[in-house]
Amino acid sequence: MKYEKIYDISVLMGVEDIDYPGTTPYTRELTQKIERGDSSNLSRLIMSTHSGTHLDAPSHFISDGKHIDEYPVGFFILPARVLKIGDKSIIRSAELEKSKTAAGEALLFKTENSVTGRAISGRFSKDFVYLSEDAADLCISRKLGLVGIDYNTIEPLRAKSYPVHKKLLGKGILILESVNLVDVPSGQYTLLCLPLRMKAAEASPVRAILLK
């Protein structure tokens, strides 16, 4: 099958990825090098399951929530809508109400995080566009399958009780974080965001792409 456009919306690990304060940063170390006489190049990775572009499963915040490996692989291939957000500080329900969505599909928010390059800056900033609780409630009422945002967390750093995560994950809505939508126009797509197949993981890095 041929597609009109294929957008890679993943951040480049080791360059563009942003580490949430307190999480294990991504590093890659060559433990074997051909140039020093080894038979091959071989790397060791140290990272969090929330490094780079990643999916949060319900078990991230819900004690009896599903883990990444409990989903069939087809769950990570789904219709998606990219919505451009005009507000430069917060995603409010008023902007979401104008969008058309169907139950089970993904809704990805293109915000100033992508437009300004904040999404791929490689460093954490306290000033980023995030999802409000009332917008999360609207996503729940529309029975979305996944919600995505162009920063490494969907809610502000000061939200110590993580209400947005708990609202969405508590209703089985997966959260895709750290996508880069700078080149993606608003509209309808097919989203592929396949996680690593890890036993009982609460999250996983993904290679996320949009097909048009």
The one catalytic residue in 54, 60, 67, 165 is: 60
Q: What does the alpha-carbon distance between residue 182 and residue 11 come to, in Å, rounded to a whole number?
A: 11
Q: How far is CA 68 from CA 30, 71, 122, 195, in A?
A: 29, 6, 26, 8
State the pairing for strand pair 54-56/203-211: antiparallel
Q: Which helix (H) or strand (E) holds 195?
A: strand 187-195
Q: How far is CA 144 from CA 17, 29, 78, 100, in A?
A: 26, 39, 11, 11
Q: How far is CA 152 from CA 63, 78, 96, 126, in A?
A: 22, 21, 21, 11
**What is the CA angle 189-132-16, rounded to 5?**
60
- 67 is known as an active-site residue: no
Which of 81, 71, 70 minimizes the C-alpha distance to 105?
81
Furthest-apart CA pair in the chain: how many Å?
61
As annotated, the active-site residues are: 60
